[in-house]
Amino acid sequence: MDSRHTQSLINLLRQTHHAEWEATPSAQDAIAWLNDLVSFLFPGNHLPKQTSYKGILKKNQIDLENILLSYLDPQEVPIEDIANAFYNSLGTIYQHLRHDATKIHEYDPAATSVNEVIVSYPGFYAITVYRIAHRLTQLQVPVLPRIISEFAHGKTGIDIHPNAQIDVPFIIDHGTGIVIGATSIIGANVVIYQGVTLGALQVTKELSEVKRHPTVEDDVVIYARSTILGGNTTIGKGSIIGGSVFITKSVPPFSQVFNTHQVRITTKTVS
């Protein structure tokens, strides 16, 4: 590349990089803040001293405020109010997560303790990050919720949009390949297995303000690799959706929906 084209590229990069830098928080700082917060809520065997809790929490709040200040205008966005509102709700978030973990332990025969769920289950980690990101979304924080959600997605293989509305408790079993779209609504005590998609019937920018993803009512179980599409699609309370089912229409409460494909096993007779 000659010097003229090199300088042209550099000028373009500097211009776009500056604009993106002004509108985007540091992913590294966002993930560090998230990791510190999750470690504060669930410290495992690194239990802080009694006198350390308040200091750790205060530092975490300052870190969040600094992240928000790095890309939001404090003249237009009440950063301190947002941070206070988030941390005032942290107790509720924690209680909801304890309820999630307890229900996962009660549901999963392979789980030996609630602590095992908390420290090792990718589904619980994805739920944890979702509940944090969702609260930030409720407070109208841009970009940051998606950064931490995509970090959890990469770590667990579970893609939960922070705008989704998910009640408590929520149970993810195994979890890899789950996709929960932005306008999904999920009730209480719902169980979702690996490979499930709650998606849209069509994807166009014009539908950005429209409910595009399904509603799943309380006490529903959705088994592996099932796909449920459409903003008008509702899975009624207490229903069981079997594995590898494709649904685009609502299902009444207490239904059982199964794939009718049959697998036949024949045994060859040896003479």
Asked if residue 183 has pLDDT above 90, the reply is: yes
Asked if residue 182 has pLDDT above 80, the reply is: yes
Q: Look at residue 8 in the predicted model and tell me its pLDDT.
A: 87
Q: Could you tell me if 2 and 112 lie in one domain?
A: yes
State how far Cα 11 lies from the chain centre.
38
The model's confidence at residue 206, banded by pLDDT at 50, 70 and 90, is confident
* C-alpha–C-alpha distance, residues 197 and 224, integer Å: 9
The model's confidence at residue 250, banded by pLDDT at 50, 70 and 90, is very high
Q: Could you tell me if 174 and 145 lie in one domain?
A: no
**What CATH number is associated with residue 267?**
2.160.10.10
| Domain span at 191 | 164-271
Q: Look at residue 268 in the predicted model and tell me its pLDDT.
A: 74
Measured over the CA atoms of residue 64, residue 70, residue 75 and residue 77, the dihedral's sign is: negative
Assigned token pair, 70: 């790095």
Q: Could you tell me if 147 and 198 lie in one domain?
A: no
Q: Could you tell me if 175 and 94 lie in one domain?
A: no
**What CATH number is associated with residue 74?**
1.10.3130.10
Taking all residues of the chain, what is their mean pLDDT, rounded to a whole number? 93
* C-alpha–C-alpha distance, residues 117 and 15, integer Å: 46
Asked if residue 69 has pLDDT above 90, the reply is: yes
Among 159, 181, 204, the domain boundary falls at: 159
* C-alpha–C-alpha distance, residues 49 and 173, integer Å: 34
Asked if residue 18 has pLDDT above 90, the reply is: no
Asked if residue 270 has pLDDT above 70, the reply is: no
Q: Could you tell me if 131 and 4 lie in one domain?
A: yes
* C-alpha–C-alpha distance, residues 151 and 262, integer Å: 39
Give per-residue burial for 128-162: e unless 16+ CB within 10 Å, then b.
bbbbbbbbbbeeebeebbbbbbbbbbeebbbbbbb
Which among 206, 173, 171 is positioned nearest to 188, based on CA atoms? 171
139-163 pLDDT per residue, tens: 999 999 999 999 999 999 999 999 9
Is the model more confident about 129 or about 19? 129
Phi-psi region of 25 (alpha: psi -120 to 50; beta: other; left: phi over 0): beta
Exposed, middle or buried, 193 (CB in 10 Å: 0-12/13-18/19+)? buried
What CA–CA distances, in Å, run from 3 to 12, 13, 15, 103? 14, 15, 18, 63
* CA atoms in the 13 A half-sphere facing the CB of 30: 24
Percentage above 70 pLDDT, the chain: 99
Q: Look at residue 122 in the predicted model and tell me its pLDDT.
A: 98
Q: Look at residue 44 in the predicted model and tell me its pLDDT.
A: 77
